[in-house]
Amino acid sequence: MIRKIELKDRHDYEEMAREFYSSEAVVSDVPDKSISDTFEEIINSSPFIQGYMLISQDQGIAGYALVAKSYSQEAGGKVLWLEESFIKPSCRSQGLAFEFLTFMKEELTGNMKRIRLEVEGGNENALALYRRNGFEKLPYMQLIIDL
């Protein structure tokens, strides 16, 4: 099951986000304040980020996913970003990630032209999942500057 993040989810979301950012699936950790600020953005209906809880029938809250929106001339319009997704290790291989990707495609894309995501190159399980779901690698190098 997938549902929007609610105020009651703060503890579970923040705990899972800390676990995600301390894992090998990401390049660097983020401060707890960033996790807390993101939760506040979600709860306050930010136009920039939406959060979802992934629920296992057997184990309850199993993970979360964050999506954001942008615009791309290259894509020809609006882009939906899978900003982050995390499933607790004990809940993996139950089809929850596939269920969320299907949910994104069917329920969130509306007038979107593309779904985009980033994945750490060494995260072979995630790469395989995304490829099975039709995602293709872009030949870009991503650059950032933190402000």
Mean pLDDT across the stretch 53-66? 95
**Maximum alpha-carbon separation in the chain:** 43
Region of residue 110 (phi > 0: left; psi between -120 and 50: alpha; otherwise: beta): left
Contacts of 47 (CB under 8 A, 6+ apart): 69
- The reported pLDDT for the residue numbered 29 is 87
3-state secondary structure labels for all residues of the chain: CEEECCHHHHHHHHHHHHHHHCCCCCCCCCCHHHHHHHHHHHHCCCCCEEEEEEEECCCEEEEEEEEEEEEECCCCEEEEEEEEEEECHHHCCCCHHHHHHHHHHHHHCCCEEEEEECCCCCCHHHHHHHHHCCCCCCCCCCCCCCC
Q: What is the mean pLDDT of the chain?
A: 93
Residue carrying the six token digits 């939760």: 39
Q: Domain residue spans in the chain?
A: 2-132
pLDDT category of residue 27 using cuts at 50, 70 and 90: confident
- The reported pLDDT for the residue numbered 143 is 86
Distance CA 61, CA 48 (A): 24
% of the chain surpassing 90 pLDDT: 78
Q: Is residue 89 predicted with pLDDT exceeding 90?
A: yes
Q: What is the dotted CATH code of the domain comprising 2-132?
A: 3.40.630.30
pLDDT category of residue 132 using cuts at 50, 70 and 90: very high
Q: Is residue 25 predicted with pLDDT exceeding 90?
A: no
* Sign of the C-alpha dihedral computed for residues 47, 53, 54 and 55 taken in this order: negative
Distance CA 42, CA 104 (A): 17
